[in-house]
């Protein structure tokens, strides 16, 4: 695995090829592997090792980026020249800031949580096959068919610039996703962690199998507004669609659903959301695309959006804009994407606060006279950008709840629901957990019980 000292040497070589006023390099890569199974068989099984270097140069307000996966001297020279050639023909951008220096990336006051596990780094194809074998045993034991993945990786990402800023992040990741298929039903579970010992393939398989079995012979019930109990994966897959609008640049661009809404009560008073890369259940790089440390930001406070996140340039631009008094505190928060880009910044380490009186999913079911239990959502897309209406489907375990009990599986629904409406109607929440879906990035998210969730159509299965 490439280490920071080796990367720093590469940057020193690279710098010698540059004639730019400033130069920055992102160096990243590593090893990844994924064992994929379906029909109770491993049918795809892959591994990769690669590294890339992405070089940004700047000349007097002009900047551009070039990337290569070759590290020999000629390639380093070529990638620097490519970046410089591209930068030189840009029009000067008055909003482009000088690259940050080391003082803007001070050593963290607190030790950063480790995101690297030796056990994860040491996973072999054989160990992944062992886990898949256990999952398949659960499937065959229940006369089901299983499909899923067991993935792992070990990687690094570093940033170096000609003002002396440098930072480094080493990490591992592991993930198991299991679908169990019966004749007319299915169940699903997914978990991930930097530490593979936190994953329980048999447990995930058993829960997935139980959902498939309990949702067998699904019945059709009419579309309409229902109380819905969303498991954490469903919550994050929906909520993830709004955080792209929490960047300051999205307000400046007037493309955010938070236009004219920062500081107003747009969600229920029980909604509190942070961005916190250092949270014990979070993962990811502790610095942003310019090397600025990611700060902990209280985005939503008792249902009011109080803070946005900012890259350095966006913060400066916001402070000079007509919106500066309407968007809460304005300062760089370490959430910028690598430059140049059009998106600016976004919070990517979302943590929902634990409610005062957390409820388990079972308690939510027990308190529900008539409602729907949703395991997972699928193919979510934004229908309306300002009302934040999303559409999508339920999938892999959708149940009818009546009289405080799960009664039976139901045919899957299409929903068209506003996130603003949904987060204003949360009747109960559970303790947030590290959750993973397919439509949005991983989060620390709770299960939620939401009234009047808008299902508009029923599909055929």
Token pair listed for 37? 């199974």
Smallest separation, CB 70 to other proteins (Å) = 7
> Between 373 and 380, whose beta carbon lies closer to other proteins?
380
> Between 243 and 455, whose beta carbon lies closer to other proteins?
455
Smallest separation, CB 118 to other proteins (Å) = 20
> Between 350 and 422, whose beta carbon lies closer to other proteins?
422
Smallest separation, CB 107 to other proteins (Å) = 31
Smallest separation, CB 161 to other proteins (Å) = 17
Residue whose tokens read 């393939």: 201
β pairing state of 426-429 and 448-458:
antiparallel
Identify the H or E element spanning 39.
Answer: none
* CB within 8 Å of 190: residues ≥ 6 apart: 175, 176, 177, 178, 204, 233, 436, 437
- Are 293 and 108 in contact by the 8 Å Cβ rule? The answer is yes
> Between 142 and 395, whose beta carbon lies closer to other proteins?
395
Which has the closest alpha carbon to 14: 108, 79, 109, 64?
79
Smallest separation, CB 102 to other proteins (Å) = 26
Smallest separation, CB 51 to other proteins (Å) = 7
Smallest separation, CB 296 to other proteins (Å) = 29
Smallest separation, CB 431 to other proteins (Å) = 27
Token pair listed for 135? 């999952």
Token pair listed for 320? 């000079």
> Between 414 and 451, whose beta carbon lies closer to other proteins?
414
Smallest separation, CB 404 to other proteins (Å) = 26
Q: What one-character-per-residue DSSP string does 106-153 give? A: PPPSSPPPPB--HHHHT--HHHHHHHHHHHHHHHHHTT-EEEEEEEEE
Smallest separation, CB 129 to other proteins (Å) = 4
Q: What one-character-per-residue DSSP string does 388-428 give? A: TEEEEEEEEEEEEEETTEEEEEB--EEEEEEHHHHTT-EEE
Smallest separation, CB 178 to other proteins (Å) = 7
> Between 45 and 283, whose beta carbon lies closer to other proteins?
45
| Start-to-end Cα distance in the chain | 47
- Are 64 and 52 in contact by the 8 Å Cβ rule? The answer is no
> Between 354 and 416, whose beta carbon lies closer to other proteins?
416
Vertex 338 angle, CA 103 and 305, to 5°:
85
- Residues constituting the chain: 461
Q: What one-character-per-residue DSSP string does 186-234 give? A: EEEEEEEESSGGG--HHHHHHHHHHHHHHT-S-B----EEEEEEE-HHH
> Between 91 and 110, whose beta carbon lies closer to other proteins?
91
Token pair listed for 263? 């500081």
Token pair listed for 179? 């679908």
Smallest separation, CB 440 to other proteins (Å) = 14
> Between 315 and 351, whose beta carbon lies closer to other proteins?
315
Token pair listed for 392? 């999508």
> Between 50 and 114, whose beta carbon lies closer to other proteins?
50
> Between 43 and 324, whose beta carbon lies closer to other proteins?
43
Q: Classify residue 143 as left (phi > 0), alpha (psi -120 to 50) or beta.
A: left
> What is the Cα–Cα distance from 23 to 412, expressed in whole angstroms?
53
> Between 33 and 361, whose beta carbon lies closer to other proteins?
33
> What is the Cα–Cα distance from 354 to 431, expressed in whole angstroms?
5
């Amino acid at each position: 695995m490439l280490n920071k000292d080796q990367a720093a040497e590469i940057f020193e070589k690279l710098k010698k090829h540059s004639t730019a006023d400033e130069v920055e390099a992102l160096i990243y890569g590593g090893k990844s592997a994924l064992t994929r199974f379906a029909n109770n068989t491993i049918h795809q099984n892959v591994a990769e090792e690669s590294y890339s270097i992405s070089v940004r140069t700047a000349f007097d307000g002009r900047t551009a980026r070039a990337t290569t996966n070759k590290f020999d001297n000629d390639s380093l020279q070529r990638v620097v020249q490519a970046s410089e050639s591209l930068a030189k023909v840009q029009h000067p951008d008055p909003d482009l800031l000088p690259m940050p220096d080391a003082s803007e990336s001070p050593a963290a006051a607190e030790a950063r949580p480790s995101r690297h596990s030796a056990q994860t780094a040491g996973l072999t194809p054989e160990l992944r096959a062992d886990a898949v074998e256990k999952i398949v045993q659960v499937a065959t034991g229940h006369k089901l068919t299983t499909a899923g993945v067991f993935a792992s990786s070990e990687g690094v990402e570093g940033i170096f610039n000609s003002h002396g800023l440098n930072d480094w992040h080493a990490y591992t990741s592991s993930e198991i996703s299991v679908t169990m298929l019966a004749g007319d039903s299915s169940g699903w579970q997914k978990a991930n962690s930097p530490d593979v010992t936190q994953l329980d393939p048999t447990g995930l398989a058993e829960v997935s199998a139980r959902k498939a079995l309990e949702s067998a012979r699904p019945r059709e019930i009419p579309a309409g507004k229902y109380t819905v109990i969303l498991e954490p994966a469903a919550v994050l897959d929906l909520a993830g669609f709004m955080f792209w609008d929490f960047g300051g640049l999205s307000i400046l661009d007037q493309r955010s659903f938070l236009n004219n809404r920062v500081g107003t009560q747009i969600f229920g008073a029980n909604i509190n959301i942070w961005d916190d890369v250092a949270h014990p259940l979070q993962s990811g790089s502790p610095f942003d695309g310019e090397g600025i440390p990611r700060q902990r930001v209280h985005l939503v406070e008792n249902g009011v959006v109080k803070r946005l996140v900012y890259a350095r340039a966006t913060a400066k631009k916001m402070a000079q804009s007509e919106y500066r008094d309407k968007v809460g505190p304005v300062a760089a928060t370490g959430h910028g994407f690598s430059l140049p880009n059009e998106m600016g910044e976004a919070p990517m380490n979302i943590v929902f606060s634990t409610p005062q009186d957390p409820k388990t999913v079972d308690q939510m079911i027990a308190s529900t006279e008539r409602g729907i239990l949703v395991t997972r959502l699928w193919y979510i897309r934004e229908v309306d950008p300002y009302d934040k209406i999303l559409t999508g489907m339920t999938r892999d375990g959708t149940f009818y709840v009546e009289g405080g009990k799960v009664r039976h599986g139901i045919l899957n629904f299409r929903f068209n629901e506003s996130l603003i409406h949904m987060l204003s109607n949360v009747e109960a929440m559970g303790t947030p957990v590290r959750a993973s879906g397919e439509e949005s990035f991983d989060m620390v998210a709770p299960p939620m019980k939401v009234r009047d969730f808008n299902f508009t159509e029923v599909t055929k299965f």
